[in-house]
Amino acid sequence: MAGLGLLIRIARQAIDEKRVDLGHIGRARAEADAELAAHEQGMAAESGIVSTNPELMVDFSAWVARTAYHSARLKRRCSDLARSEDAAQDALREAFTDMKRLELARDSAQRDEQREASRRADVQADEQERGRSSQAEPG
């Protein structure tokens, strides 16, 4: 049973590490989402400016090509981080489930030990009672 205690401690450490990893990924995803939103706002603002000033259309068409590439890259990063976050959440759930299984095994082993100790105590008490009974009987 001492081995189960060690495994439970290791499982808890793994859970803590996975929580930290998930937190880092979540922050990175929030930053990427914010960067994408800011980029899209900038694109909308530039589009609004060009719509009121046709002379800027030539420069705008070159800018749109560059910004579309940047936008696609940001969207890909957000998507990659979302997948990483999902995988990290799954890994955390799995680690938590493993820890709970170990805790249940430990608890079951403790109950079995307690039942066995109680059974031995009952047997010993019965033997002592028999011994007293046999000594008390005239024979």
Q: What is the dihedral of CA 72, 73, 78, 79, to 10 degrees?
A: 70
What does the alpha-carbon distance between residue 52 and residue 60 come to, in Å, rounded to a whole number? 12
Asked if 74 and 35 count as a contact pair (C-beta separation under 8 A), the reply is yes
| Nearest in space to 59 (alpha carbons), one of 41, 70, 46, 68 | 46
Q: Does position 62 have pLDDT exceeding 80, yes or no?
A: no
Tell me what the mean pLDDT of segment 19-48 comes to: 94
Amino acid at site 59: D
Domains present along the chain, CATH in parentheses: 2-127 (1.10.287)
Tell me what pLDDT residue 57 has: 74
**Structure tokens belonging to residue 124:** 């010993």
Q: Compute the Cα dihedral for 96, 97, 102, 106 and give only its sign.
A: positive
Q: How confident is the model at residue 2 (pLDDT cuts 50, 70, 90)?
A: confident
pTM: 0.71
